Structure 1
Amino acid sequence: MSFRLAAYAVCIEEARVLLVRHVSSAGETNWTLPGGKVEHAEDPFDAVIREVAEETGCDAMVERLLGVDSRVIPAAEAWSGLEHQNVGIFYQVRITAGVLRPEPNGETAGSVWTPIPDVVHLRRSSLVDVGLALAQTRPLTGHVPPVSAGGLIQH
């Protein structure tokens, strides 16, 4: 089984969420939240700020912890073909400066403020739905029920 610890930014302003367009090595695109892998010895709090800057070109400030999502993706569904556990730490983040731009030499082809009602029509990572659920319900435990992958939602 592979394992990944990641930190994700849920940035909502005026009923819009900040999404980034991820392009895989195979050329497939989908929308996701800014964020990514927590590097060795890096604090997830610092990782989410770094990832927002890398992927969007903007400075960010963490406002609060929203929750933690732990999911195991079966080998048959995982892109690697191996069972994979992803632990995602979701933060409510506010953009403080900068201009949206694509990630230089990265997998993020651009970022956009998306009206929340329009998200349901996008080919997106299930992480988007988890982050929005945490932001909208703010569960005391920081836990949301598992979000099933299907339709437009991708792992």
Structure 2
Amino acid sequence: MSFRLAAYAVCFEDERVLLVRCVSPAGGTNWSLPGGRVEHAEDPFDAVIREVAEETGCDAVVERLLGVDSRVIPAAEARSGREHQNVGIFYQVRITAGVLRPEPNGETAESVWTPIPDVVHLRRSSLVDIGLALARTRPATGHVPPVLAGGLVQH
């Protein structure tokens, strides 16, 4: 089984959420939250700020921890063809400076402020729904029920 620890940013502005459009090497595209892998010896708190800067070109500050999501993706649904566990730490962040831009030499093709009601119509990672649910409900446990989707993408 492969394993990934990641940090994700949930960022709101004027009834909109910041999303990034990711393009996979295989040519697929989907929308997600800014965020990604926590590097070796890196604090997830620092990782989410780094990932926002890399993927969007903007500076951000963490406002609060929203929660943690852990899911196992069966081998039949995982891109690698083997079972994979993703542990995501979700933070509410605020953009403090910068102009949205694509990620240089990365998988993020664009970052966009998206009206929250429009999110449901997008092909998106289930991470978006998890982050929005955590921000909306602010559960004391920092945990929401699993979002029904195959793998990390399928909406």
Tell whether the structures are fold-level matches, with TM greater than 0.5.
yes
SS across alignment from 1:6: strand
1:31-110 alignment runs, 5 A limit: 31-110=31-110
With normalisation by structure 2, the TM-score equals: 0.97
AA of the residue aligned to 1:146: P
Partner Cα distance (2:96, 2:2) in 1: 35
With normalisation by structure 1, the TM-score equals: 0.97
SS across alignment from 2:147: coil
| Match of residue 118 from structure 2 | 118
Percent sequence identity is 89
SS across alignment from 2:71: strand
Alpha-carbon RMSD across the aligned residues, in angstroms, is 1.0
Runs of at least 5 residues in structure 1 that lack an aligned partner in the other structure = none
How far the C-alpha of 1:148 sits from its partner, in A, is 0.8
- The structure 1 segments of at least 4 consecutive aligned residues displaced by more than 4 Å after TM superposition are none
Partner Cα distance (1:92, 1:14) in 2: 15
How far the C-alpha of 1:13 sits from its partner, in A, is 1.3
Runs of at least 5 residues in structure 2 that lack an aligned partner in the other structure = none
| Match of residue 133 from structure 1 | 133
How far the C-alpha of 1:14 sits from its partner, in A, is 1.2
Q: Deviations over 1:24-44 (max 9, x none)?
A: 000110000000000000000
Partner Cα distance (1:85, 1:124) in 2: 19
How far the C-alpha of 1:154 sits from its partner, in A, is 2.6
How far the C-alpha of 1:55 sits from its partner, in A, is 0.1
Partner Cα distance (1:96, 1:81) in 2: 40
